[in-house]
Amino acid sequence: MTPTSRLELYETMVRIRELETSVESLHYSGRMHGSFHSSMGQEAAAAGVTGCLRPADLVTSTHRGHGHAIAKGMSPTTIVAELLGLQPGSSGGKGGSMHLHDIACGFLGENAIVAGGVPWAAGAAWASRRLGKDLVAVSFVGDGGAAQGVLAETLRMARTFGTPLLVACENNHLAHSMPSERTFGEPGSIAAWAAGFGMRAEYVAGDDVFAVHRLATEMIDEVRASGRAAFVEIEVWRVRAHSLNDPDYRYLPKDLGKSYLQTHDPIANAERDLPLTDAEAATIRERIAGEIAEAIDAALEGQAAPARLATTGVYSEAFEQEGRRRGW
């Protein structure tokens, strides 16, 4: 990798962290209504995997998807506007944190249904292959998502029908309060399970963005060339509560996230490995913090989503027409 692209991976992680910590402040100051699922500590998975895609490649995401959206190139202003319920948001401000999407940059969207994005990505990947394009689709999913039946069905179909899909499973050790060790066993077990579908399945530690990127590049190149699906389990940690709605969770020691960041912070690790001096890192962080502050100011200029639009855009126009014809 060139020094620039290594630096870009680092900057993407800083951008994700900065956006999410700023939005947390907006939530606690009462400006952001509704909750969100922070991906703090998981930035290397988003940056490392998405960083080796081409612009036309496709990504589907989860309920914890701000990082995936940023890494695939979505504008921070559009993201923040959606989070704040403002019209310039990607769902017109009507969807909120779990409804980010931007087809123009190949970000097919987050999904509030756990593992719901996986068949969606598989279908998009399969269709584009049938149309003669050499796209790859990546679907992020959690360890909880890996326990959903739809993932097993999709892996089976993807393998059967030659689908250029990479499932990137972020094993952050928890599905809300359920430890993944209890569902699957030690980290690496989810990849071992996926290998049973007859596809390449790998494990990588997610505190090293360069290692994630190296493995993902190799796997995505292979998926693109062969048209065969693959699976990567990326071990990360969920540093925050499941969402901002459960600050008083009791199922884990509260300081676990903080102590994890002290030893495994992917951003600090990248600063050490690039390497960057403290002064260089501070300059980059300040510049990106400025960009995010500007994005928030720009988003705040948007109008609130009006109540009269609440039911528009829910169904396709064709469906709505049919409904009107039938008098629904």
Ligand X SMILES: Cc1ncc(C[n+]2csc(CCOP(=O)(O)OP(=O)(O)O)c2C)c(N)n1
Positions touching ligand X (CB under 6 A) are: 37, 63-64, 112-114, 142-145, 172, 174-176, 238, 242
Pairing of the two strands 58-60 and 107-109: parallel
Residue nearest to ligand X (CB): 142
Question: Is 42 near Mg ion (CB under 5 A)?
Answer: no
Q: Give least dist CB 252 to Mg ion, A.
A: 12
Q: Give least dist CB 189 to ligand X, A.
A: 14
Task: Rank residues 113 and 310 by Cβ distance to ligand X and give the closer one.
Answer: 113
Q: Give least dist CB 48 to ligand X, A.
A: 17
Task: Rank residues 18 and 170 by Cβ distance to ligand X and give the closer one.
Answer: 170
30: left (phi over 0), alpha (psi -120 to 50) or beta: left
Measure the CA–CA gap between 275 and 254, rounded to whole angstroms: 31
Q: Give least dist CB 112 to ligand X, A.
A: 5
Task: Rank residues 124 and 175 by Cβ distance to Mg ion and give the closer one.
Answer: 175
Task: Rank residues 142 and 206 by Cβ distance to ligand X and give the closer one.
Answer: 142
Residue 201 contact, options Mg ion, ligand X, none, Cβ 5-8 Å cut-off depending on partner type: none
Task: Rank residues 88 and 144 by Cβ distance to ligand X and give the closer one.
Answer: 144
Q: CB–CB of 46/68 below 8 Å? A: yes
> Which one of residues 172, 189, 243, 269 is an interface residue with Mg ion (CB under 5 A)?
172
Question: Is 77 near Mg ion (CB under 5 A)?
Answer: no
Residue 82 contact, options ligand X, Mg ion, none, Cβ 5-8 Å cut-off depending on partner type: none
Measure the CA–CA gap between 75 and 100, rounded to whole angstroms: 10
What six digits make up the tokens of 226? 């062969």
Residue 135 contact, options ligand X, Mg ion, none, Cβ 5-8 Å cut-off depending on partner type: none
Question: Is 206 near Mg ion (CB under 5 A)?
Answer: no
Task: Rank residues 101 and 129 by Cβ distance to ligand X and give the closer one.
Answer: 101
Question: Is 233 near Mg ion (CB under 5 A)?
Answer: no
> Which one of residues 43, 57, 143, 265 is an interface residue with Mg ion (CB under 5 A)?
143
Task: Rank residues 115 and 299 by Cβ distance to ligand X and give the closer one.
Answer: 115
Measure the CA–CA gap between 261 and 209, rounded to whole angstroms: 14
Binding footprint of Mg ion on the chain (CB under 5 A): 142-144, 172, 174-175
